[in-house]
Structure 1
Amino acid sequence: MKWEAGLGHDHSHHNTPPVEADGAPRWKHDGVRVIKGDCLDDSTAQTPGMYRQAAINHARVGAQKIWAGTVTIQPDAKTGVHHHGALESVIYVVRGRARMRWGEKLEYVAEAEPGDFIFVPPYVPHQEINADPNQPLECVLVRSDNEAVVVNISNVEPVERPEEVYWIDPIHKAPPA
């Protein structure tokens, strides 16, 4: 497909940059931000078996439509079956091996290794698994919104049962009994 001016993407961005008192754009302070890897924020929701750190969110940089951070998942850890509502998620595998199961009965499965990207569309029931029993899984996670949406699904039996407990925290609620 050939892209021509005016086709495929609207370049008439409606937001104007914040301005100083003299009317000059505030790009020095409100422009590009670099968040150092050793300065991530772990005051985000934490879950047994996972360690999340926010890099980009509304609180840290004023992001309106995106959340990005890291997650480290302990060896052989598994989530319960869940989806993320209308959110889209992208997972980039840095180290380790991820297994994703999805579908109405988790009938589909795929694995990802370092350098691979995983896309999770809205409302897709899935289960996240560290496929390696011996080493942590380290990933970069990007969500299409700042709102943490997790809907646990109790009427789907996971093919690979979670270890001991569901990942339950402020965003991973316990499924109904």
Structure 2
Amino acid sequence: MHDSDEPDSGKHAGTHAPGGAGSAAERWKHDGVRVIPGGQLDPNTAQTPGMFRQAAINHARVGAQKIWAGTVAIEPDAKTGVHHHGALESVIYIVSGRARMRWGERLEFVAEAGPGDFIFVPPYVPHQEINASTDEPLHCVLVRSDNEAVVVNLPDVEPVERPEAVAWIDPIHKHP
């Protein structure tokens, strides 16, 4: 019920539900919230040796227009090549294991993250994802700000030998 205590006439259906024949309820039923069971993720996505990616949310599966989400399992000691994701923003949530990220023009910076940590990768940032463990798998949830799988490989990057460790301090929560 709205403030007027009148039943919803469906006037919002056009702004939230895709158009088409049928009642607003039918459109909401089939084009509304989706639950993707963890055992039904789609492995038909770009793969990297030592890593297994699966899509949960994308255009093909649920009609997503502006977001991609899925999982990645990274074998011990595995790593990607140096790359960036164009204009996309990426978020990585660490479920289990230890992630090491290197970034910069020559991968001159490094940080690690563990279970419960989030990693934000801004657009166009050259980076490399690494499982920091030599004997434990790394499991992550990935979210990208667009449905396109943009990966620009940067094979000519000469990484520095000893990257500078970076402890991130956000502008809101200053380091004690």
Using the size of structure 2 for normalisation, the TM-score is 0.78
Q: What are the within-5 Å matches in structure 2 for residues 54-93 of structure 1?
A: 54-93=55-94
Q: Judging changes above 3 Å, is the alpha-carbon distance between structure 1 residues 78 and 62 closer, same or farther for their aligned structure 2 residues? A: same
The answer (yes or no) to whether the contact 2:93–2:142 under 8 Å persists in 1 is: yes
| Partner residue in 1 for 2:172 | none
5+ residue gaps, structure 1, are: 1-13, 161-177
Structure 1 match to 2:43: 42
Q: 1:111, 1:78 → 2: CA distance?
A: 13
State how far apart, in whole Å, the 2-side matches of 1:38 and 1:55 are. 10
Residues 4-39 of structure 1, C-alpha deviations (whole Å, 9 max, x = no match)? xxxxxxxxxx94423563542511111110000011
Look up the SS of the partner of 1:104 in the other structure: coil
Match for residue 168 of structure 1? Answer: none
**What is the rounded CA distance, in whole Å, between the counterparts of 1:97 and 1:71 in structure 2?**
13
> What is residue 101 of structure 1 aligned with on the other side?
102
Q: Which residue of 2 aligns with 1:141?
A: 142
Contact 1:97–1:112 at 8 Å: present in 2 too?
Answer: yes
Q: Secondary structure at the match of 1:18?
A: coil
Identity %: 80
Task: Report which of the two has the higher share of helix.
Answer: 2
Q: Is the 1:81–1:152 contact (alpha carbons within 8 Å) kept by the matching residues of 2? A: yes
Decide whether the 8 Å contact of 2:83 with 2:153 is kept in 1. Answer: yes
| Cα displacement (A) at 1:47 | 1.9
Report Cα offsets for 1:116-160 as digits up to 9, x if no partner.
000000000111100000011000000111111111112322347
Match in the other structure for 1:123:
124
Q: Which amino acid aligns with 1:24?
A: A
1:58/1:146 contact within 8 Å kept: yes
Give the aligned CA root-mean-square deviation in angstroms: 1.7
**1:114 paired residue number:** 115
Provide the C-alpha distance between the structure 1 equivalents of 2:135 and 2:22, rounded to a whole number of angstroms. Answer: 58
Native 8 Å contact 2:48 2:80 kept in 1: no
TM-score (norm 1): 0.78
For the pair shown, which has the larger CA radius of gyration, 1 or 2?
2
CA change 1:19–1:80 in 2 (3 A) is closer
